[in-house]
């Protein structure tokens, strides 16, 4: 099995990747249900509000991935940054303050990896990933301590986060999306994308790669934090964190959507909708009494197909 570079890459290969993902998902669902009728029920039963909520969360976090990976910077700590964003939301009095604090604290959370990568070339994939684990324990400290709700005697849960309705969340996402699309039209946005071709290229363009590396990570962290806040604030009920349910897995979903969408802000939006639907399918399967691991398996396979789409776009696979 070898890869040959395509002389004329076509974006159609991302569509093939999406179809491949769909085929894999169908196979997994059939394997778990063992019957076509139940599989069809898992695929077709959709709660629009639930789908919209998951879509918005995944779509916001996917923008964090787009920002980072299009610049060739490997922030894979979106899960931890989202946890920090959700914590900030829980500690806030109203929705506006929650979003602002989520962005601020998740930026501060990623500050150390950003500075270390920019100044000492410390691998940001390793530091952001390790900090995700730190975020989970830190969140547990706040759940069990400063943010614990004293009214819920006998239960270790935080106070409730302010409510954000889906329309407001959609407007916020649209603004973020428009902001990032607009950013890529500016010279700064172009330099951010140039970074993926190498630090030398940015230096030749007369800019400081260090500044752009740090800016990429900080922006990416801020957006992931907002995603975490949106996740907890758009819940109809139970807008609190518990010791067992700190990490929601939406960090992985956002990263998967970014790749499945070809690292394009609009492509990531389409991929987020697909991943939200996968999440709905996984939830339907859980309701049918099937294992909880299905969501991870479905989204993990979507991520693999997203990466495969990127490779298929650039290369042809030959057997030799």
Partner 1 sequence: MAVDIGVVQEALKGAAPILLATLGAVIGQRAGVLNLGLEGVVYLSAAVATAAGPPWGCLLAVAVGTLYNLLYYLLVNDLALNQILMGFAFTMMAYGVGSQIARPAVGKPIEKPLVQGVEIYLAAVLVAAALHLLLRTRLGVAIKASGDDPASLDLMGVDVYRIRKIAGALEGALASSAGAYLVLIYYGSWSDQLVMGWGTLAVVTAMISLWNPLLAAGASIIPSLFISLAYTLQRLTEASPHLLNTVPYLASIAVLVLAQLAVRKTRLRALAPRWLARPYIREERT
- At residue 316, φ and ψ (nearest 5 deg) are -110, 135
DSSP code at position 148? B
Q: What are the start-end ranges of the E strands in the chain?
A: 2-5, 315-318
Comparison of 173 and 253: residue with beta carbon closer to partner 1: 253
Could you say whether residue 9 binds partner 1 (CB under 8 A)?
Answer: no
Of 98-106, 127-135, 168-176, 219-227: span binding partner 1 (CB under 8 A)? 127-135
- Nearest-angstrom CA–CA distance, 161 and 240: 6
In the complex, the smallest distance separating the C-beta of residue 317 from partner 1, rounded to whole angstroms, is 7
Of 7-15, 28-36, 92-100, 134-142: span binding partner 1 (CB under 8 A)? 134-142
- At residue 2, φ and ψ (nearest 5 deg) are -135, 160
The residues near 164 (Cβ < 8 Å, ≥ 6 apart) are: 95, 98, 99, 229, 230, 233, 234
Name which position in 22, 108, 111, 134 contacts partner 1 (CB under 8 A). 134
Name which position in 137, 187, 237, 289 contacts partner 1 (CB under 8 A). 137
Comparison of 182 and 317: residue with beta carbon closer to partner 1: 317
Could you say whether residue 66 binds partner 1 (CB under 8 A)?
Answer: no
Could you say whether residue 315 binds partner 1 (CB under 8 A)?
Answer: yes
Block residue for tokens 């829980």: 90
Could you say whether residue 43 binds partner 1 (CB under 8 A)?
Answer: no
* CA 291 remoteness from chain centre: 23
Name which position in 43, 129, 163, 277 contacts partner 1 (CB under 8 A). 129
Helices (H) and strands (E) in the chain, counts: 13, 2
Q: Which of residues 281-300 bind partner 1 (CB under 8 A)?
A: 291-297, 299-300
Binding mask 77-116 for partner 1 (x = CB under 8 A): -----------------------------------x---x
The residues near 137 (Cβ < 8 Å, ≥ 6 apart) are: none
Buried b (16+ CB within 10 A) or exposed e, 200-211: eebeeeebebbe
Summarize as ranges the residues that interact with partner 1 (CB under 8 A).
1-5, 74, 76, 112, 116, 120-123, 125-127, 129-131, 133-134, 136-138, 140-141, 144-145, 249, 252, 255-256, 259, 291-297, 299-300, 303-304, 307-308, 310-311, 315, 317
């Amino acid at each position: 099995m070898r890869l040959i570079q395509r002389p004329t890459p076509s974006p159609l290969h991302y569509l093939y990747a999406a179809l491949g993902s769909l085929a894999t998902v169908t196979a997994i669902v059939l394997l778990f249900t063992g019957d076509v009728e139940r599989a069809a029920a898992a695929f077709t039963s959709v709660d629009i509000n639930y789908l919209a909520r998951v879509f918005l969360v995944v779509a916001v976090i996917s923008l964090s991935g787009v920002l980072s990976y299009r610049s060739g910077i490997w922030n894979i700590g979106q899960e931890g940054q989202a946890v920090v964003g959700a914590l900030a939301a829980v500690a806030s009095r109203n929705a506006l303050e929650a979003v602002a604090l989520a962005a601020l604290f998740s930026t501060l959370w990623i500050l150390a990896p950003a500075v270390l990568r920019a100044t000492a070339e410390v691998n940001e994939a390793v530091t952001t990933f390790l900090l995700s684990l730190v975020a989970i324990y830190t969140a547990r400290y706040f759940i069990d301590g400063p943010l614990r709700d004293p009214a819920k005697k006998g239960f270790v849960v935080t106070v409730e986060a302010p409510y954000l309705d889906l329309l407001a969340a959609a407007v916020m996402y649209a603004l973020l999306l428009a902001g990032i699309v607009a950013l890529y039209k500016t010279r700064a946005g172009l330099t951010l994308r140039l970074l993926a071709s190498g630090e030398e290229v940015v230096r030749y363009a007369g800019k400081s790669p260090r500044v752009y590396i740090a800016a990429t990570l900080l922006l990416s962290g801020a957006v992931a934090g907002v995603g975490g806040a949106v996740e907890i604030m758009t819940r109809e009920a139970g807008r609190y964190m518990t010791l067992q349910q700190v990490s929601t897995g939406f960090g992985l979903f956002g990263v998967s959507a970014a790749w499945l969408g070809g690292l394009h802000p609009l492509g990531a939006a389409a991929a987020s909708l697909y991943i939200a639907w996968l999440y709905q399918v996984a939830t339907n399967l859980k309701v049918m009494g099937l294992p909880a691991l299905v969501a991870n398996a479905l989204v993990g396979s979507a991520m693999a197909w997203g990466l495969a789409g990127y490779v298929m776009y650039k290369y042809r696979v030959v057997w030799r």
